Amino acid sequence: MKAWKWGSIIIVCAVGIVAFAAKQGADDQRRLRTALAMTGGYAGMTEGQVNELITSVSNKGIGTVGQTREVAFWLICSGRVTYKDMEPLTQSALHLMSAEKISERAAVTTIIKMLDPSAGAALDRCPK
């Protein structure tokens, strides 16, 4: 009887973890869709192309998939990055994060200000 009880607890925990991960992934995709729409497609990328870029960059071992997704989101949401600059700027932000021990948003803010010193608070209107 104890094995059945523990087995049930393990199954319930596993289902909970999978459900949480699925919700988090759906929330991340929603934020990305919102950022693409907010900028009027300025980046010139579809959601699928962004996901391919995220996979490509994270496979290079620079950052995790989650870090890469967050950097890509902030870059797109800034409304100042186009398709051709997306991959190198994503990689630069990930390197900056690692070197300076800063967040994804802080790294993207630094890069945006280097590209356009008048950018100000470009990320303030981005969805949380």
> Over 70: is that where the pLDDT of 18 sits?
no
Which of 2, 1, 86, 96 lies closest to 36, judged by CA?
86
Can you tell me the distance from the alpha carbon of 95 to that of 118, in angstroms, rounded to the nearest whole number? 23
Q: Can you give the pTM of this predicted structure?
A: 0.79
Q: Give per-residue pLDDT as tens, 104-115.
A: 999 999 998 888
